[in-house]
Structures are given as structure tokens and as C-alpha cells.
Structure 1
Amino acid sequence: MIAYIKGKVTFIQEDSIIIDVQGIGYEIICPNPFVFQSYLQKELFIYTYHHVREDIQCLYGFKDEDEKQLFTQLISVSGIGPKSAIAILGSVHVPDFVAAVESEDEKYLTQFPGVGKKTARQIILDLKGKLTSMFFIENTVSVSNEVAGSHHLDEAKEALKSLGYLEKEINQIMPTLRNSNIQEVDHMIRHALSLLVKN
């Protein structure tokens, strides 16, 4: 297994980054590739999960060990594969997710792409009680939701900056973006782009 990779970030794509290690480019699928924008053409240490099947080999990358641990727990759930797990991680704050599982908050879990009521119930059934020893969680889901919302806004803002928008332009749309109640970072970025075009 490839536990981590250290090398120069040469490209950032919509769903992955390319890291050059001694002339070999590793494509690493990430929840939010644009969080690594500041490392473009610089050295990066990234945690990875090497997924191997008969017909495919993929590297999945994470900014910290918490993301990687949650990913490995998610793919242990019946009905959730790596693509679904990455989609969930793309719009989640880890303590928030853990708190939702522990409180059996199906409504919160079904907000993620590809997660219906049946899958949400399976997540709770398979993971409740297993995550609390791995991660710190907030006292309540509502508190951690506020933290997650702020976290998502920060990621969206950094992505917009990487696309060439000025901070002044971005700050003008932040109040609207904050009140949009959009939970997924990629959807938040798309909504922000539509607002910027209108302005």
C-alpha cells in the first residue's frame, strides 16, 4: 500500500492533483483539490490510500490523517465505494460527520451525494460507536454545523482566488453565499461563480 506521497504539485484538476516524484507523475484523486492551490509547483506531503481492484488502480489523497481515516471507515460500509466516500469528504467537516453518526441524524447524512435513507441507516449501523475513539467531536451537531459552514466558505473563497478573482469581488458575494445554505463545497463554488458573473 502507498501510505503517503511527497513531491512537487505540478497540476491541479477538477477532481485530482498531479504530484511529480523524481520524474514520475502520480495522479491523486482528492475531495477538494483546490485546497492544495498554494502548493502548486511546490513540494507537498499528502496522505494517500491505494485502491486496487481487478480492473483499476487509483490513488486517493487527503490533507490530513483524519480525512484518510474517515475515508477508510466509509468504504467499509456496505454500499459505499471510494467515489462515494470522496464525494462525502468533499463537503464534510469530520467532527460534524462523527457527531451526526453518533446522534443517528439521518437527515444530516442524506444531504451528501448518493446517500439516501437506506445508505444513511447503513452508515449509522456500521459506524456508530467506532468513530468516537478516532476523532474529536463537538458537543452538538448544530455547533459543528456552524464550524463546517465556515470551513466550506473558506475553501470556496480560496478556490475563487485561485481562479483569479480579487478578494474585493469575492467579499461582495460572501453574505449571499453564507445565507445560501449550500452544504457541498463544489456546489458553493458554482453558485459563487454565477453570482460573480452577474456582478
Structure 2
Amino acid sequence: MLDSLARALRLTDDERVHLYSLARPTRTRRPAALAPQRVRPAVYRILDTLAETPALVLGRRTDVLAANELARALYVDFEALPRHDRNMARFTFLDPRARSLYANWQAVGHAAVAALRLYAGRHPHDPQLAELVGELSLRDPDFRRWWAEHDVQRRTYGAKLFHHPVVGELRLDYEALAVTGDDEQTLGIYTAEPASPSAEALRLLAAWGAEQPLPGPLGTRAPRVV
């Protein structure tokens, strides 16, 4: 029946997955809290080897679990933020730097909401999701409007346009790769076309990021994001 309904409505693959999630029988008892996510040491080493390209690990609710130096230079130093704020949706909607960083902020914001909607279909009773959605709905009218549209989308690859305050315009292609061992961790890697202005901007961004003071007391690196 669900297959017939999905075909009749011409649902996308992501919308079909969301429909199946919503159709699952709900438990009468609230499920136990989800266990905290951990990033394996080998995944941290992968991030460190990708020194010439921004890379980060996203978890449930678009939580930023880890980010290499160039990703922190591109976005924000997630390791220096309170743990509560290490979330890509919070950055997109609540950090004023995001609206000028993304050349097409509305498209990025709408995609972030659609990704959260897809996650909500799998974990409708996640208390941290309810807190996040409630906070964003209260503080941002765009989020509130897009959340009410019930669009769903899984971000797997594409391109993003940035206007970085230090190095200017960048066009970066991104790939979202599944991290084995935790199907709710995604390794996001951003690359620039070789020999392009964006590749040169990334090189300059890496040099600028390396010159910035390390977060933490007395110039020490803050603990790894886990």
C-alpha cells in the first residue's frame, strides 16, 4: 500500500524513506535516550590527513562531532564553542556570520531544515531534536516557516557558494560519505576545482587558519570534539 501511495504521489527517494518512517508503529512507551556519538581515532586521523580541504563529521541532528583545521577556518572554530552550540543547523540560523558566509543562504537554510525533518521521521522522540527545533522555531522565522512545510531531503553531494570574509568567493563541491560503524555519522568533504580561483582561495584560507591563535588557555588546542 505504501509503495502504491509513494508512486501515486511521485515521491522522491528521500520522501519515500520518510513516509516509511512515519508509517512505522509507534511505541506506547517513550524509548530510551540515544547514546552519545563518538568519533573513532582513525576518523580523526583521516580528518588530519585532509589538510588541504575542509572536512568535518556530522552526527545526529547535524551535530558537528569533529572538524579539521580548514573546516574551522571556513565556518567557525567549533571546538571553541560550547558543546550545545556545535551544530550546523544552529550555526546556519543563529550565527549572524552564516547569512553572509553562504552566497545562497536561503537554499542552505531550507536544505538544513529538510535534513532535520528527515531525521525526525527516524527519531520522533529524540529530546535533543525537540529542544533544537523549539529553539530555532522561537528564534528564527525562516526556520519556523520552512519547518511547517514538512519537506525532507538527504544531502549527499552538491556544490556550495561561499563568501568568506578573509579570502572572498569560493565554489566548493561537497560529498557526504557514510562513516562505517555508525550509520548516523557522515564525513563531509569539500573540494575545489584544481587550478581554479576557489582552489587558490582555499590555499590562502589554509595559510590564514594556520596563523590564528589556537583555542584554549595559553594557546593550547581545545579537546577534540566528541
The TM-score range, normalised by the shorter chain, is under 0.3
Q: TM-score, normalised by structure 1?
A: 0.27
Q: TM-score, normalised by structure 2?
A: 0.25
Larger radius of gyration: 2
Which structure carries more relative contact order (alpha carbon 8 Å, separation 6+)? 2
